[in-house]
Amino acid sequence: MSGSLVVVGTGPGKAELMTPATLAALAKATDLVGYGPYLARIPATRPDQRRHASDNRVELERARHALSLAAAGREVVVVSGGDPGVFAMAAAVFEAVETGDPAWRTLDIRVEPGVTAMLAAAAEVGAPLGGDFCAISLSDNLKAWATIERRLRAAAEADFVIALYNPASKARPHQLDHAFELLRAIKAGDTPVLFVRAAGTSEANMVTTTLATAEAARADMRTLVIVGSSTTRRIGRWVYTPRSGGGLS
Amino acid sequence: MSGSLVVVGTGPGKAELMTPATLAALAKATDLVGYGPYLARIPATRPDQRRHASDNRVELERARHALSLAAAGREVVVVSGGDPGVFAMAAAVFEAVETGDPAWRTLDIRVEPGVTAMLAAAAEVGAPLGGDFCAISLSDNLKAWATIERRLRAAAEADFVIALYNPASKARPHQLDHAFELLRAIKAGDTPVLFVRAAGTSEANMVTTTLATAEAARADMRTLVIVGSSTTRRIGRWVYTPRSGGGLS
């Protein structure tokens, strides 16, 4: 007999942005596995539910633990923030399946979508993702910085709106500065740049500035940075990208 | 006295993927404005609530109508599918504000984030958006096809995972073929290509194929197409992109 594994995202933070499907999966679970602060967001449901909190940056280890529990017959939910498929735990779970016990391939595994950070950040300021856009993680824990630079350059040259995940951490204080520098060589100085901190929570905070004056020091681990396309604009207190998204002259 | 306007997304389709924040906004509204099929998804709430259904492709007109109602003191909710900020109504509302009655700039306008189609599609098949990715609408109703081609080329050359919104419609039957042709000249033929139809609904249907054999005829208006990066892979019945997302050799 074997159990099941559901990978969920709690959304950006506020309980009202967690989907009912995710809440239902959480309520049914015998075991919750996740990074401590994400588990702390989840209201207690059943008294017999076990919580397995782990540190940040041990995604693969955490995924293997969750798969072992499911293989032992438990009903496991792996808890991410945001959407589990965007720079979060779903990919780590499938990496663990691919490299782990062959029996894990027959497990009942499911992913529940959620509201990822860039959607919550965009909603706070208007509609900056209104045209074509891309999402890039600035973390080079798992990929080469040269790859990140290549993608930033391509995104700027093709005039995408750019959402930057993981823009800064204590271990990586200079990468966002490097990214802004690279983008300034390609994009106009008056391109809107948004720093949205704690989007989708009661502490949400937004700063709208321009590429010419954007300072990396404004970002921390809870910040999502959005760099506009050539047509992204301010209108009153809002920022939006027309649906043409830079394609009309 | 003036009312308010909230732009929401119903998510991909299933009620369990609509956020409680969106449900609360819908319940409070005196007027719902949206494309008919999206309005039809919403359970009746208050008996005095008015519904203003409109056709597809009249986004700006619909946005102006909603803003007029709010300016007249109504509590208006504009209803999109998915997330309202991704190829949906939020950008149209701010376009209407920018080009419309200056009094509209002082209105109480808010956007509620939702689960956009690519997140629901990704969850159905595993974690194909596990690395850096971009979202491109193939509709050239509002932007030049040359712009779309330029973005497809840039995304392929920089090895992003690519989510294609609006891949096909009766009015535009050939664009997805053109897109595949362009991508084949840059990316490997064995790159996974996913056709996910009606993701996040009870009728969800997935086809996993490769770029070499992908046929545009598989897509219709309810399909989201995901083209993998160089590291996107199949593992059993799942498809995922490792978190390194093509950046590690």
Residues of A in contact with B14 (CB under 8 A): 21
Cβ atoms of B48 and B76 closer than 8 Å: no
- Can you give the pLDDT at residue A242? 95
How far is residue A20's CA from residue B28's CA, in Å, rounded to a whole number?
19
Q: Chain B contact for A164, CB < 8 A?
A: no
pLDDT digits (tens, 9 = 90+) for A123-169: 999 999 999 999 999 998 889 999 999 999 999 999 999 999 999 87
Pairing of strands A161-165, A223-227: antiparallel
Distance CA B15, CA B61 (A): 27
CB A3 within 8 A of CB A70: yes
DSSP assignment of A75-101 equals: EEEEEESB-TTSSSHHHHHHHHHHHS-
Nearest CA distance, B184 vs chain A (angstrom)? 18
Distance between CA atoms of residues B223 and B219, nearest Å:
5
Tokens of A46: 């059943």
Centre a 10 Å sphere on the Cβ of residue B189 and count the other Cβ atoms it contains. 10
Q: Per residue in B183-210, pLDDT tens?
A: 999 999 999 999 999 999 999 999 999 9
Q: Residue A227: what pLDDT?
A: 98
DSSP secondary structure letter of residue B43: P
Token digits for A143? Answer: 């990929």
- Each residue of A19-28: pLDDT tens digit? 999 999 999 9
Helix, strand, coil tally for chain A in percent (to 5)? 35, 25, 40
Report CB contact under 8 Å: B84, A133: no
Structure tokens at B115: 């689960």
What number of residues does chain A have? 249
- Judging contacts by C-beta atoms under 8 Å, the chain B residues touching residue A129 are 85-86
Residues of B in contact with A200 (CB under 8 A): 113
- Tell me the shortest Cα–Cα distance from A92 to chain B, in angstroms: 7
- Measured over the CA atoms of residue B127, residue B132, residue B138 and residue B141, the dihedral's sign is positive
Provide mean pLDDT across the span A200-211.
95
Is A101's pLDDT higher than 70?
yes
Which residue is associated with the tokens 């330029």?
B150
Scan for tokens 């609408």, then name that residue: B137
Residues of chain B with pLDDT below 70 are: 1, 245-249
Distance CA(A219)–CA(A206), nearest Å, equals 11
Residue of A nearest to B147 (CA): A247
Q: Distances from the Cα of A54 to the Cαs of A65, A66, A67, A112, A194, in angstroms?
A: 10, 11, 15, 21, 31
pLDDT at residue B5, rounded to an integer: 98
CB-nearest to B247 from A83, A93, A147 is A147
Q: Which of B188, B241, B187, B193 is nearest to B215 (CA)?
A: B193
Beta-bridge mates of residue A124: none
Chain A residues with CB-CB distance to B142 below 8 A: 242-245, 247-248
Which chain B residues are within 8 Å of A226, Cβ to Cβ?
Answer: none
Instruction: Categorize the per-residue pLDDT at A46 as very low, low, confident or very high, splitting at 50, 70 and 90.
Output: confident
In angstroms, the Cα distances linking A196 to A118, A163, A180, A201 are: 9, 11, 16, 11
* A222 Rama class: left (phi>0) / alpha (psi -120 to 50) / beta: alpha
Q: How far apart are CA B82 and CA B120, in angstroms?
A: 9
